[in-house]
Amino acid sequence: MQFAVIGAGVIGAGWAARFLLMGFDVKIFDPDPNAQKIIEQTLTNARRSMPGLYDHMLPTEGKYCFCESIAETVTNADWISESSPERLDVKHKIFDEIQQYCSHKAIIASSTSGFKPSELQDLSSNPDQIIVAHPFNPVYLMPLVELVGAIETANRASSVISYLGMYPLVIRKEIDAHIADRLLEAVWREGLWLINDDIATTTEIDNAIRYGFGLRWAQMGMFETYRIAGGEAGMKHFIEQFGPALKWPWTKLMDVPELSQALVSKISDQSDDQSGHYSITDLEHIRDDNLVGMMRALKLNDWGAGNLLNTVDTQLKTMDSNLTTLLTHRNNIQTIHRVVPTTWLDLNGHMNDSHYAEVFSQASEVVLIRLGADQEYVDRGFSYFTVDMKVDFLKECNAGDVINVVTDIIIAEGKKLDLKHEMRDLNDNLIARCSQFLLHVDLELRKSCLPAEPLKSLLLNLEATISN
Ligand SMILES: NC(=O)c1ccc[n+]([C@@H]2O[C@H](COP(=O)([O-])OP(=O)(O)OC[C@H]3O[C@@H](n4cnc5c(N)ncnc54)[C@H](O)[C@@H]3O)[C@@H](O)[C@H]2O)c1
């Protein structure tokens, strides 16, 4: 698929990074000479954080180029991401130019936070081609994309968004600001009032969110959370109990405080006190590391955004031929090729020793799967248990480093499996060595036993390769 990005600011650059890291080439148009710098900065952040979401290697990164005109950018593109400033007149002009040169079948996906598809499509000769694909910053990490527009185009877009590892939320009825920004704006407006009325500062409001309901929202959203709050009696009870309070004048949602110079200065001064000691790059790194950490925690529970990451991992795994072909040799087996995630670092800033062991353990799993001792084999009641493991730590590893593991089968005889792993960096420097001894076991008896088919035959074949 060929991707095009029109407007490479905060959001356009985020889209470009997502497309590139998922292996696609991207053509970019932005009249601002600074755009190349924004793309490079965003790509640096994305390369540092996005691979850490997954346990398998992302595809080889695509290539990007800047074009001189919209015409050159969109000719032959299948997906055109429009991320120009939030001004309808600017967007109309851009759509008009895009549609003069793009394929009739291409999807033109606007990142607009507020405009409805019918407003974007105004004056267009092929309106159904233009849809809203509203992402969240940083686009290379945040999964949600709200899709609004002609259902046939939205459905096609949905498959592309899923393939990119994102979550397509198709919105059935167009509405100003879609779903998420409606909710966000309600909270944001209330926050502005709390500051305006001297009830709370920016720090206090942020603390109320991040130590409180923000944590619950990240994993269950609002309604599932309230369902639990209703106890065994459930949602109905919750609404009966707290519903009447909605009529009390708690909120000022219908009113907007006047954004006077005084209020704007008050907010920005408080924000400086709160976070002024961090640079924007520091804050981006902190945000990205936290997002990766939270999503990896959800991954362990296969829940919400974590379930999505597991789906992408399965997709990446099936693309990895190393995992899908049976072993025919016993030396130099490529077992792991991945990036060190930021969540694997310890206080010294390098990869924690437990994760060296985790990588080697994953390498053994690859060998076992390729020998036929896969999930199906385990479900039949057999597996291998590690009885001895020794790791030699030779070199530091940092977040974002690519690591490769190559494994040799030293002994594959009867119940015994003796493996030797070597972890190397991209320059082939040895990072760590591991010897691991495993015994074949009967999972019901919890005792060692001889391997069953198909493992048994494959091991015999491997033995033959060593004796020849
Ligand atoms: N910032 C957010 O958090 C966010 C989140 C979701 C969606 N959006 C939406 O994404 C869109 C872009 O927002 P942003 O925050 O990235 O803005 P931005 O100001 O960071 O980027 C806009 C880019 O468009 C470029 N541009 C200006 N005129 C252009 C033209 N004629 N052709 C091509 N490019 C042009 C600018 O040079 C700039 O690089 C908006 O529609 C906005 O509503 C923003």
What is the span of the domain harbouring residue 70? 3-178
Residues 173 and 207 in one domain: no
CATH number for the domain spanning 209: value is 1.10.1040.10
Q: Is residue 422 part of a domain?
A: yes
pLDDT of 396 reads 93
Q: Which atom of ligand 1 is nearest to the CA of 14?
A: 16
Residue 132: band (very low, low, confident or very high) from pLDDT cuts 50, 70, 90 = very high
Residue 231: band (very low, low, confident or very high) from pLDDT cuts 50, 70, 90 = confident
What average pLDDT does this structure show over 231-242?
76
pLDDT of 263 reads 82
Which residue's CA is the closest to the ligand 1 atom numbered 34? Answer: 7
Q: CA separation (Å) from 207 to 185, 284, 285, 293, 324?
A: 18, 18, 19, 19, 47
Q: pLDDT tens, 386-423?
A: 999 999 999 999 888 889 999 999 999 999 999 999 99
pLDDT of 315 reads 86
Q: Is residue 188 part of a domain?
A: no
Q: Which residues, judged by CB distance below 6 Å to any ligand atom, belong to the binding site of ligand 1?
A: 6-12, 29-32, 35, 83-86, 90, 94, 111-113, 134-135, 137
Q: Which atom of ligand 1 is nearest to the CA of 82?
A: 11
d(CA 369, CA 386): 15
466, pLDDT greater than 60: no
CATH number for the domain spanning 328: value is 3.10.129.10
pLDDT of 377 reads 94
For residues 320 and 273, is the Cβ–Cβ distance under 8 A?
no
For residues 396 and 351, is the Cβ–Cβ distance under 8 A?
yes
153, pLDDT greater than 80: yes
Give pTM, 2 decimals. Answer: 0.82
Residues 28 and 159 in one domain: yes
Q: pLDDT tens, 81-114?
A: 999 999 999 999 999 999 999 999 999 999 999 9
Mean pLDDT score of the chain, rounded to an integer? 91
Centroid of chain to Cα 77: 24
Residues 117 and 229 in one domain: no
CA dihedral for 62, 67, 70, 74, sign (positive or negative): negative
In terms of Cα–Cα distance, which of 68, 10, 73, 5 is closest to 41? 10
157, pLDDT greater than 70: yes
CATH number for the domain spanning 136: value is 3.40.50.720
For residues 412 and 430, is the Cβ–Cβ distance under 8 A?
no
Separation of CA 258 and ligand 1 centre (Å): 25
How is residue 19 written in tokens? 């497309």
Q: What total of structural domains would you count in the chain?
A: 3
Q: Is residue 184 part of a domain?
A: no
Q: Which of 5, 10, 90 to mutate to test the pocket of ligand 1 (most atoms within 8 A of CB)?
A: 10
